[in-house]
Structure 1
């Protein structure tokens, strides 16, 4: 599962161990993240049915879709500190089982308020999943391999966007099947996509290891090589025993990465929650065809996370790379607004997904390079918390834009504004990174 090649900077043992770890761990991590994304975003396909059956209008839907991220965000840091204390295996399995049960419970929504409550509870249950996965990456992989590892993990949500929309649309047809009409189609979708998550969570409890030293498929020498390369940060010292995790939240680099990630999530989460509605307004009548065309965002996302991390690892100017990708989001969104050709618009949905989604592994690689141990657990959760707030703001602003204009594609104006603001923060991040690393470089030179 990796294109990692042996190089003079590390021994053959570490290279082979990294290949083994990616092949063994990443499928498990992708499986649970895939299910989380399916359960998180299937509500986008139910938007029209919820309006027709329960009277949940566009503004209420946008609020409910986004409020998921409030409960999620409030518990991110405590949840990831629990993952650090109890081990990622137990905590990730617990998260999966509880959120799978609540995702299934979405079939019992009766109106706007029950919709809001279950979305909040779903966010609370899932809190800490993604930063726990990122924390595992810091325990297993060297800094130079992390962008590629995170890129593989991000294939899960991108594939979920590709397959989830057609799958969910197909499941929503079950309500019309003879003998299955006692439930609406959207209820079948929540039921049949929620239960498998519980099953995956149980499997993870028995199969997902915490650290290299715990597994039998690595030799002691290989496990030692992985842990030695993973726990040494860019300044050449181990930090895994630090109790000062709050310091990670105060670093300018952490705060700026979090703000840039927030603006990315305003744009990207709003986009993928409203893509089915955007496609439906192109006079596409078939729900299945809406699902298929909506997968263009996921296809662009998938191509981005498979290619851009490999470019990232060859580029020394990390912030320049982030700036170029953010500029790509601005250009593609402006092009979407400027054209009325629907085929071109579908293509531009994919291109926007390529830049807005493909940049995500690079955010995490830049952050993880400067965080280790318990500081990584706290700092990565903090960054994800701020990003999740963007996941609330984005769908809400998209919903307001649709309510005001009557068109779902008006949300592309939100994409442009958020991406321009994010682009303006990138030079500030570059200066903060330079300021943080300058004293260390000077001390090294003096030594």
Structure 2
């Protein structure tokens, strides 16, 4: 067997990870530690040393998954090529972002912005980079099942963003640490990777919460600019998250977000809401990525929402990329009542949705069992900031945007009972019927 030397020397703090025996690993590391480099090299070693016998024509497969495909290419692709380059006989594909090794094993890069692309695949190991920036359902619904064929391993690496699913991934329901996990926390104050003077300079340019989160690995530091975190905390403290039922005498309303251009890589979200006197009852939530319209229609029918009044955003009048037909027409032809698409384009529309939903927050009651993914998205939804000028630049567009946009549209369409001549009429955003 030929000896291959890869130009990688692990940092001492990272050696325990390379020596681990646990199937799953969680690494919480400060910025600029080099966790991606370490995990890419760990994956290369796994690909080269795995036992390929008895695979029945199914060669080993490994995946590195970033929040978006572009991030995967920008962050990890050059590392994968560089550290694989000394290995003779490799096959590299720039178009597929993959490297195949002489034993048939393959490492490929993916983006969680289209995680449904991973359905049907199998993996011997996966590295999930910055899971806090991903849809929480990507792991349990799609990525985790790909490891079942060969009892594959999984590694999560990232910095905290509140007590989200990355925080909970290695914990039991009661919050206690789960068995079978390797854990490593790498704080900037302890690793010595960044010199003290540079750390002080970084600290001076960040808020306390930002520094604690990015460099001291704190899950308790607040996400700066989270629009709805306090609104959701108040709902929990006020007992407005629980078992909520619909009033059979009042109409149900479905608020949609088509997601960007409406292509198969976009998320499609639906909130099922009912306006009951002064209450807004949020009864159900749906989101899927990479599915055709018939899939969404079937969900509505399976849930018994055929008579719901459907509200589509401005792009409801646009044609989908599959059949070239308007989304409004698709839903009407499927037998659903559809209001004219809501006019929510233009400068400031996103912040109008945010303010409308915030003003209605104390009226909203949430059905706990069916809305958790949507509520998680609302808690995560936050603004992008220009730190030098200390100004907000509007919402960050990520996995949480679609759920937030759809419910924000609901808030803009809402009108108090008894105040409007036509209760079912959709309002344009500048005319929010909020007290």
TM-score by length of 1: 0.22
Greater strand proportion: 2
**Higher RCO by CA contacts (8 Å cutoff, separation 6 or greater):** 1
Structure ranking higher in helix proportion: 1
Q: TM-score, normalised by structure 2?
A: 0.23
